[in-house]
Amino acid sequence: MALISVRNLTKTFGSTLAVDDITFDVSRGEVLGFLGPNAAGKTTTMRMLTCYLAPDRGSATLAGHDILDDSLEVRRRVGYLPESAPLYLDMDVVSYLAFVAEVRGIPRAETRQRIDRMIETCGLQRVIGRNIGQLSKGYKQRVGLAQTLIHDPDILILDEPTTGLDPSQIIEIRELIKEMGKQRTVILSTHILPEVEATCTRVLIINEGRIVASGTPQELQAIAGGEDTIYVSVNSAGEPVDAKLAAISSVTSVSRITDAAGGYVRYLVKAGDGEDTAEAIFRIAVENTWKINELHRQRLSLEDIFLKLTTRET
Amino acid sequence: MKNALPIFKREFASYFNSPIAYIYLTVYLGLSSWLFLKGFFVIGEASMRSFFDLVPWIFLFFIPAITMRLWAEEKKVGTMELLMTLPITDAEAVIGKFLASFSFLLLSLSLTLVLPIVVASLGDPDAGQIAGGYLGCVLIGAAYLAIGLFISSLTENQIVAFIVSVVGIFGLFILGADFVLFGIPDGLVPVFSFLGLGGHFDSVSRGVVDSRDLVYYFSVIGFFLYLNVKSIEAKR
C-alpha cells in the first residue's frame, strides 16, 4: 500500500505556476529522490506534503491522512527537515531536542533516552551543551536531522539534506538515509546527481513544476534511451576501419577522433544497442587481426539524462 | 491546547537566553520608578496615582519591545516553517506565545511592587486603589500585548513590528481621548469613548472594577488573538 499518495497537486504563487498537477505514489521502504534544477518546484511540493503550504488544487494523503482535513495527524507522522535546516539559534542542542520531543508528545520518561539516541545517531556528542547559533553548518544540519528523527516517524521528508556538509559527512548522512529508508518512506530532494544514484531507489525528475520522468535510476537510463557512445582505438596496419565498423547493423555513425601514436587511431562509434556493438567491434577486430588498445562503452549517465529531460522544451 | 505549553516554555525561556531581558527589566524598572518617585516626594501624598497614570505611556513603548520578535524573528530565521510543520495548531502557537509575553509582563510588573511597599512605609495609601491600579496595568498590558503580537505576525522585520505596534496601540489609545471626542459627530461619541483603550484604564485604575471594562479588555485581547490565528492561517 502506498504510504504517500499525491494526486494532481497544484500550487501557484501570484502568476507563477510553482507546482503543476503532480501525481505520484510512494510505498514503504522506498527512498524517493526529487531531482530538478533550482526553482523546479521540489521545495514547494515538500512544503505542501508537510502541511506548511496549502495546495491550490489536488490532494495528498500521508499514512492515510489527508494533508488538508487531517493536517495534525499528518504532521505527527512526518519528520521534516526544511531546506537549510532552520533552528532556534538561541537554544542549546539538548533543550532544543527536548522541546521538539515535548511537542511531538514523547512521554517525559522516554525523552532523555530518545535524545541520547539521536545524539549518537547524528554524531552530536561533541556539541551537546553548545548553543545552536554557534554551531557549524554541518552540525546544524545534523541537529536538524536529529529533530526530524526523534519521534521515529514513518515518513521522512528531507529538503536537500546534505547541503553544507563536507564530503565525509555527506557519505555518513547518505548512509544514514539509506539505513532509515529500509523501514520507512523517505522523500529527499537534491540537485546533486550522484546523491540520487547513491541513496534513492526511485527518482522523480521535476522541471518547471512538472514531473518529466520517473523510475529507478536504471529505468531512467532506458527512458532517456538514445544512443550509446563507444570509443575504440585500433591499429589496423593501414586497413580502412571506418567502413567495416559502419557495416555493423546497430551502428549509426563512425567518426575518427585522433591519429594516435604507434599506428593506433581512435574512433567514436555511435550505436543504438551498446552491448552487441562492442562485441561486434571486438569480433571484427579479431577477424582482421587488428590490435585494440581501447574499447570503452560510455553509458548515458544520470547527468546526461537530467540535462536531456530538463532542457528538452527550451 | 496541550501543545501551547511547550511553546510557552520555549518562548519564555528565550527571553532570558540573551541579555535583552535583563536590560529591558532594568530600564523598565529604573524609568518607571524614577518618573514616579521624582513627583512623589514633591507632592508629598501617599498615593500611587501618578505611577498608574504613566503606565499606559510607558507600556506604549515597552510592550511592543516584548512582542516585536515573537513572530517576526521566526519568519526571518525560517523557524516558522519548523513550527508550522510540527503537530501544533495555529491557536496553540498563538496562545503559547501570548502567555509567554504575558508572563514576562507580570514579571516586570511584579518588580515594581517595591513602590507600593515604599509608599506604605511612608504613609497610609488606599490599598484598594493600588490593587485596582495593578489590575488595570495587567489588563491594559495584556491588550497591548495581543495587539503587538498580532502586528509581529504581519512582518518579518522586528523594527517594523515595533513601530507599527506603537502607532497602532497609540491610535487605539487616543480614540477615547477628549480632543478626539470633541471632533467627531455626537452620535459616535459613546462608540469612540467605549473603543478607546485609555478610558477603561482610568476607571479600573481608580479602583472601580466594572464588568464593562473587563468585558472590553477581554474582547480586545480575544479579538487580536483571533486575528493573529487568522493571519498565521492565511500564510499557509
A138-164, pLDDT tens digit by residue? 889 889 999 999 998 999 999 988 877
Least confident of A12-21, A114-123, A253-262, B94-103: A253-262
Q: How many whole angstroms from its chain centre is CA B206?
A: 19
What is chain A's mean pLDDT, rounded? Answer: 86
The whole-model pTM stands at: 0.84
Out of B13, B81, B86, closest to residue A75 by CB: B86
How many structural domains comprise chain B? Answer: 1
The yes-or-no verdict on residue A314 having pLDDT over 60 is: no
Residues 141-180 of A with CB under 8 A from B: 147
Task: Give the residue from chain A lying closest to B77, CA to CA.
Answer: A86
Of A1 and A213, the one with more pLDDT: A213
Mark yes or no for CB contact B87/A105 under 8 Å.
Answer: yes
Give residue A301's pLDDT band: very low, low, confident or very high (50, 70, 90). low
pLDDT for A162: 83
Mark yes or no for CB contact A51/B236 under 8 Å.
Answer: yes
A65 part of contact set with chain B, CB < 8 Å: no
Closest CA to B12 of B86, B105, B82: B105
DSSP B188-215: GHHHHHHH-HHHHHHHHHTT---HHHHH
A19 is written with which cell numbers? 507546482
Considering the domain A226-299 in this protein, what is its CATH number? 3.30.70.260
A142 is written with which cell numbers? 545534523
The yes-or-no verdict on residue A274 having pLDDT over 70 is: no
B121-133, pLDDT tens digit by residue? 988 888 888 999 9
Q: Does domain A2-223 have CATH number 3.40.50.300?
A: yes
Give residue A179's pLDDT band: very low, low, confident or very high (50, 70, 90). confident
Residues of chain B with pLDDT under 70: none
Which residues of chain A make contact with B84, given a CB cutoff of 8 A?
Answer: 51-52
A22-53, pLDDT tens digit by residue? 999 998 888 999 988 888 899 999 999 999 99
Out of A52, A87, A95, closest to residue B85 by CB: A52
pLDDT for A260: 61
Segments of chain A assigned E as strands: 2-13, 16-27, 31-35, 57-62, 65-66, 78-81, 155-159, 185-190, 202-207, 210-215, 228-235, 251-259, 265-271, 291-298
The yes-or-no verdict on residue A265 having pLDDT over 60 is: yes
Mark yes or no for CB contact B88/A103 under 8 Å.
Answer: yes
A194 part of contact set with chain B, CB < 8 Å: no
- Enumerate the β-bridge partners of residue A206: A211
The yes-or-no verdict on residue A197 having pLDDT over 70 is: yes
Of A193 and A118, the one with more pLDDT: A118
Pair A203, A273: CB distance under 8 Å: no
Domain ranges for chain A, please list them. Answer: 2-223, 226-299
Number of Cβ pairs < 8 A linking chain A and chain B? 61
B233 part of contact set with chain A, CB < 8 Å: no
Which residues of chain B make contact with A53, given a CB cutoff of 8 A?
Answer: 236
A95 part of contact set with chain B, CB < 8 Å: yes
Residues 143-202 of B with CB under 8 A from A: none
Distance CA A170, CA A148 (A): 17
Mark yes or no for CB contact A51/B10 under 8 Å.
Answer: no
Q: Which domain holds residue B27?
A: 4-234
pLDDT for B142: 96
pLDDT for A50: 94
